[in-house]
Amino acid sequence: MIQFTKLRLAGFKSFVDATELLIEPGLTGVVGPNGCGKSNLIEALRWVMGETSARQMRGGEMDDVIFGGTSSRPARNLAEVLVGLDNSAGVAPPQYGTAELEVVRRIERGQGSSYRINGRDVRARDVQLLFADSATGARSSGLVSQGRVGALINAKPAERRSLLEEAAGISGLYSRRHEAELR
């Protein structure tokens, strides 16, 4: 299991100023009044793990995750989210080698996203694969959005199977096989 250690946001949705949160082992609660940005935080986590659907981010296009301005502050053209990971259990692929990992996703208005792991440019796919084996990731069943429980009850058998595969930690294996077959 990969442990999240910190989350840093800048220009992401309502988090216009750089904001860093330390994530301690164990249970973390996020509390605050309506509209203060609790869901935006979870979406930042989902986004940095490689979410590609703007709809999953409650937006029309991916640029909508960039701070869009308020009556008192102008919009930004850049958003960046960093997630720190404790990889001391060695779950991450060996090429990343270190106990501490930092995954960064950045988006520039009209330019799309770029990703880095420990400062090295990587593909979106590399980030998605990093999380796929550890039963985390943008689409993991660990992130339960509103309505998802009902959707699971009504799901087709194939959809339920992919959930079980993910729970068993083998979905990364399938993704890699698919990648290998394409080469």
Return binding residues for ATP.
33-40
Using the minimum distance from each CB to ligand ATP, give the nearer residue, 13 or 105: 13
User: Do 153 and 129 meet the contact criterion of CB atoms below 8 Å apart?
Assistant: no
The DSSP secondary structure of 136-183, one letter per residue, reads: -STT-TTS--TTHHHHHHT--HHHHHHHHHHHTT-HHHHHHHHHHHH-
CA 9 → CA 30, 47, 84, 147, distances in Å?
15, 11, 12, 27
Q: Is 39 in the site for Mg ion (CB under 5 A)?
A: yes
**Interface pick for ligand ATP out of 64, 100, 121, 179 (rule CB under 6 A):** 64
Indicate which single residue of 14, 56, 114, 175 sits in contact with ligand ATP (rule: CB under 6 A). Answer: 14
Instruction: Please report how close the Cβ of residue 70 comes to Mg ion at its closest, in angstroms.
Output: 18
Which stretch, 31-39, 112-120, 130-138, 168-176, contacts Mg ion (CB under 5 A)?
Answer: 31-39
Query: Alpha-carbon distance 23 to 34, whole Å?
Result: 22
CB of 37 to Mg ion, least distance (A): 8
The span from the CA of 159 to the CA of 165, in Å, is 10
Q: Which is nearer to ligand ATP, 65 or 117 (CB)?
A: 65
The stretch among 19-27, 63-71, 100-108, 122-130 that binds ligand ATP (CB under 6 A) is: 63-71
**How many C-beta neighbours within 10 Å does residue 139 have?**
21
Q: Which of 7, 8, 9, 40 binds ligand ATP (CB under 6 A)?
A: 40
Rounded distance between C-alpha atoms, residue 44 and residue 81, angstroms: 7
CB atoms within 10 A of CB 95: 9
Known binding residues: 33-40
Pick the closest to residue 10 from 2, 24, 21 (CA basis): 21
Q: 14 contacts which partner out of Mg ion, ligand ATP, none, CB within 5 to 8 A by kind?
A: ligand ATP
**Residues binding Mg ion: number (CB under 5 A):** 2
Q: Is 39 in the site for ligand ATP (CB under 6 A)?
A: yes
Binding site for Mg ion (CB under 5 A): 38-39
